[in-house]
Amino acid sequence: MTGSTSARVATVLAAVSTLAVLAVTGVAVTAYTHRDGAPAADGPSSTSASPSPTESPSSTAPPVSEREHVFDDGQFVVGDRGDNAMFEVPSSADDWTTQSSDTVLYYLGKDGKAAVGVAGPAVFRDGYCKTADTASNRGFVGFTRSATGLAARAANEQLSADWVAAISLNEDLKTSSPHTPVVTEEITLDDGSTAVRSTSRITVTDRTPCDAPAVDFALVSLDTGDAVANLVMVRDAEAPDVLDDELAGQILGTLHRVLG
């Protein structure tokens, strides 16, 4: 899978992020060690059990039937109460697949353990690499969690460092591919809200046949009242049929608060 990230997030993220959903509920899980999405040799490739309704993002999501679409036949993705936010991706006809809220996509760090992750991500061009023995896609976007009590900029800076280190981590879980400096700036979302966005590009030095030459990372953090929503996007770059910059920006711009 694109952006098979494996950042080192330490115990704080493991306790309060989507990884907590994994630990508490035993939801469906997929682990990756690198950008194209080959499951980790030493990690679980898939595990399933019934999620707890108190932990499932769908159990706390507000209704979205009256939301105005940005994309024709677009698909809304709603975070849980800890995010208090939602975003939109294009339709399934445009090669976007939304995963169920009890599915966690997480990544391994240098210690071989789960690090950062997203629950219920939206995936672009799922299964595009027909020669792959494992899952593949051109990108994904979803909510990730920071430590509680952090302001939007602090959360963004912390998570960006973790995710970029993760995406850069090579298959050996020891060496890393180079990346551009993380650029952090304030942006205005579609609804007029001010958010913080960080971006970086990783040049993949240990490519597999399904890997793109580069991977683009973006993280948008928005103060949603009692929480900070952190929307992460990881996508292939410098390859055919990848998600272009304009559309990626449009998707990130749809992030907005959902509760009063």
Parent domain of 182: 10-50+71-257
Return the SS3 of 140.
strand
The pair of three-digit structure tokens given for residue 198, joined into one six-digit string: 């960080």
* CA distances for 108 relative to 34, 78, 187, angstroms: 9, 25, 30
4, part of any domain: no
Residue 226: the pLDDT is: 84
Give the model confidence (pLDDT) of 146-162 as tens digits: 878 899 999 999 999 99
63, part of any domain: no
Number of domains, the chain: 1
- Per the CB < 8 A criterion, the answer to whether 160 and 198 are in contact is yes
The residues with which 129 forms a beta bridge, in sequence order, are: none
Which residues of the chain have a pLDDT value below 50? 1-62
| Chain center to CA of 153 | 18
Residue 78 DSSP symbol:
E
15, part of any domain: yes
170, part of any domain: yes
CATH no. for residue 186? 3.40.1000.10
Residue 151: the pLDDT is: 95
Residue 66: the pLDDT is: 61
Residues 6+ apart with CB under 8 A from 249: none
The pair of three-digit structure tokens given for residue 168, joined into one six-digit string: 């850069």
57, part of any domain: no
Give the Cα separation of 205 and 217 in Å (integer).
16
Residue 146: the pLDDT is: 81
Return the SS3 of 194.
strand
Residue 64: the pLDDT is: 55
84, part of any domain: yes
Stated pTM of the model:
0.79
2, part of any domain: no
66, part of any domain: no
Of 128, 88, 87, 104, whose CA–CA distance to 30 is shortest?
A: 104
Q: How far apart are the first and last CA of the chain?
A: 35
